[in-house]
Protein backbone atom coordinates (compact mmCIF):
# COMPACT_ATOMS: atom_id res chain seq x y z
CA UNK A 1 0.00 0.00 0.00
CA UNK A 2 1.46 3.33 -0.96
CA UNK A 3 1.67 6.30 1.39
CA UNK A 4 -1.30 8.10 -0.21
CA UNK A 5 -3.60 5.08 0.19
CA UNK A 6 -2.38 4.56 3.74
CA UNK A 7 -3.15 8.19 4.64
CA UNK A 8 -6.63 7.92 3.09
CA UNK A 9 -7.31 4.72 5.04
CA UNK A 10 -6.17 6.29 8.31
CA UNK A 11 -8.36 9.35 7.70
CA UNK A 12 -11.36 7.18 6.87
CA UNK A 13 -10.89 5.07 10.00
CA UNK A 14 -10.54 8.18 12.15
CA UNK A 15 -13.72 9.62 10.67
CA UNK A 16 -15.60 6.35 11.16
CA UNK A 17 -14.46 6.10 14.77
CA UNK A 18 -15.46 9.68 15.53
CA UNK A 19 -18.82 9.43 13.84
CA UNK A 20 -19.81 6.27 15.73
CA UNK A 21 -18.87 6.91 19.30
CA UNK A 22 -20.27 8.09 22.57
CA UNK A 23 -20.06 11.86 22.90
CA UNK A 24 -20.14 13.50 26.34
CA UNK A 25 -20.76 17.24 26.37
CA UNK A 26 -22.38 19.93 28.51
CA UNK A 27 -26.17 20.15 28.46
CA UNK A 28 -27.84 22.86 26.43
CA UNK A 29 -31.56 23.11 25.81
CA UNK A 30 -30.84 23.42 22.10
CA UNK A 31 -28.80 20.18 21.98
CA UNK A 32 -31.54 18.26 23.79
CA UNK A 33 -34.26 19.75 21.58
CA UNK A 34 -32.31 18.95 18.43
CA UNK A 35 -31.73 15.30 19.43
CA UNK A 36 -35.35 14.86 20.44
CA UNK A 37 -36.72 16.50 17.28
CA UNK A 38 -34.54 14.18 15.17
CA UNK A 39 -35.72 11.16 17.23
CA UNK A 40 -32.11 10.41 18.15
CA UNK A 41 -30.83 8.59 21.22
CA UNK A 42 -29.60 10.99 23.90
CA UNK A 43 -28.93 10.78 27.63
CA UNK A 44 -29.01 13.33 30.41
CA UNK A 45 -26.52 12.97 33.24
CA UNK A 46 -27.51 15.10 36.23
CA UNK A 47 -24.09 15.81 37.68
CA UNK A 48 -22.79 17.80 40.64
CA UNK A 49 -19.08 18.58 40.99
CA UNK A 50 -19.30 17.94 44.76
CA UNK A 51 -20.83 14.46 44.30
CA UNK A 52 -18.38 11.53 44.52
CA UNK A 53 -20.87 9.19 42.82
CA UNK A 54 -21.23 11.64 39.92
CA UNK A 55 -17.45 11.76 39.53
CA UNK A 56 -17.30 7.96 39.33
CA UNK A 57 -20.07 7.98 36.72
CA UNK A 58 -18.17 10.64 34.78
CA UNK A 59 -15.07 8.41 34.69
CA UNK A 60 -17.14 5.50 33.39
CA UNK A 61 -18.73 7.67 30.70
CA UNK A 62 -15.30 8.92 29.63
CA UNK A 63 -14.03 5.34 29.40
CA UNK A 64 -17.00 4.37 27.20
CA UNK A 65 -16.24 7.12 24.66
CA UNK A 66 -13.95 4.81 22.71
CA UNK A 67 -16.32 1.85 22.72
CA UNK A 68 -17.80 1.06 19.31
CA UNK A 69 -21.55 0.88 18.97
CA UNK A 70 -22.48 3.52 21.55
CA UNK A 71 -23.69 6.05 19.00
CA UNK A 72 -25.34 8.64 21.20
CA UNK A 73 -24.69 11.83 23.10
CA UNK A 74 -24.68 12.24 26.87
CA UNK A 75 -25.58 15.77 27.90
CA UNK A 76 -24.16 16.61 31.32
CA UNK A 77 -26.61 18.82 33.22
CA UNK A 78 -25.53 20.78 36.29
CA UNK A 79 -27.68 19.34 39.08
CA UNK A 80 -27.51 22.55 41.13
CA UNK A 81 -28.28 24.97 38.28
CA UNK A 82 -30.76 23.18 36.01
CA UNK A 83 -33.81 23.40 38.28
CA UNK A 84 -36.43 23.53 35.50
CA UNK A 85 -34.85 20.55 33.76
CA UNK A 86 -34.89 18.60 37.04
CA UNK A 87 -38.61 19.34 37.44
CA UNK A 88 -39.34 18.41 33.83
CA UNK A 89 -37.70 14.99 34.26
CA UNK A 90 -38.68 14.54 37.93
CA UNK A 91 -35.09 14.27 39.13
CA UNK A 92 -34.70 14.37 42.89
CA UNK A 93 -31.08 13.37 43.32
CA UNK A 94 -27.79 14.04 41.59
CA UNK A 95 -26.07 11.10 39.87
CA UNK A 96 -29.21 10.42 37.81
CA UNK A 97 -28.76 9.21 34.25
CA UNK A 98 -31.85 9.39 32.03
CA UNK A 99 -31.67 7.70 28.63
CA UNK A 100 -34.04 8.88 25.93
CA UNK A 101 -34.86 7.91 22.38
CA UNK A 102 -36.35 11.05 20.95
CA UNK A 103 -39.09 12.17 23.35
CA UNK A 104 -39.41 8.79 25.08
CA UNK A 105 -37.56 7.91 28.27
CA UNK A 106 -36.30 4.36 27.87
CA UNK A 107 -34.42 3.89 31.13
CA UNK A 108 -33.11 5.65 34.20
CA UNK A 109 -30.23 4.91 36.57
CA UNK A 110 -29.74 6.61 39.91
CA UNK A 111 -26.43 6.38 41.74
CA UNK A 112 -25.13 3.46 39.69
CA UNK A 113 -21.40 3.55 38.95
CA UNK A 114 -21.00 0.11 37.35
CA UNK A 115 -19.68 0.29 33.79
CA UNK A 116 -21.82 -2.66 32.65
CA UNK A 117 -25.00 -1.07 34.01
CA UNK A 118 -24.25 2.32 32.46
CA UNK A 119 -23.31 0.73 29.13
CA UNK A 120 -26.48 -1.36 29.19
CA UNK A 121 -28.64 1.67 30.00
CA UNK A 122 -27.14 3.67 27.13
CA UNK A 123 -27.69 0.79 24.71
CA UNK A 124 -31.43 0.72 25.49
CA UNK A 125 -31.84 3.87 23.37
CA UNK A 126 -30.09 2.49 20.29
- Express as a percent the part of the chain with pLDDT over 70: 84
The full set of domain ranges for the chain reads: 22-123
Instruction: Look at residue 21 in the predicted model and tell me its pLDDT.
Output: 87
Average pLDDT over residues 11-17: 42
Q: Is 37 helix (H, G, I), strand (E, B) or coil?
A: helix
Please name the helix (run of DSSP H) or strand (run of DSSP E) that holds residue 100, with its range, or none. strand 96-101
Q: What is the pLDDT of residues 28-37, one digit of tens each?
A: 999 999 999 9
pTM: 0.82
Q: What is the pLDDT of residues 44-93, one digit of tens each?
A: 999 999 999 999 999 999 999 999 889 999 999 999 999 999 999 999 99
CATH code of the region 22-123: 3.40.30.10
CA angle (78 as vertex; 73, 81 as ends), nearest 5? 140
As a whole number of angstroms, the distance between CA 78 and CA 111 comes to 15
- Which among 17, 63, 24, 15 is positioned nearest to 47, based on CA atoms? 24
Amino acid sequence: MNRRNLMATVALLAFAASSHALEVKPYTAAALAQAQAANQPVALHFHADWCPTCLKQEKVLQSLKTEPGLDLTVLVADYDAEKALKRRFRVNVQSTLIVLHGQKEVTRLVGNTQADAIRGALKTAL
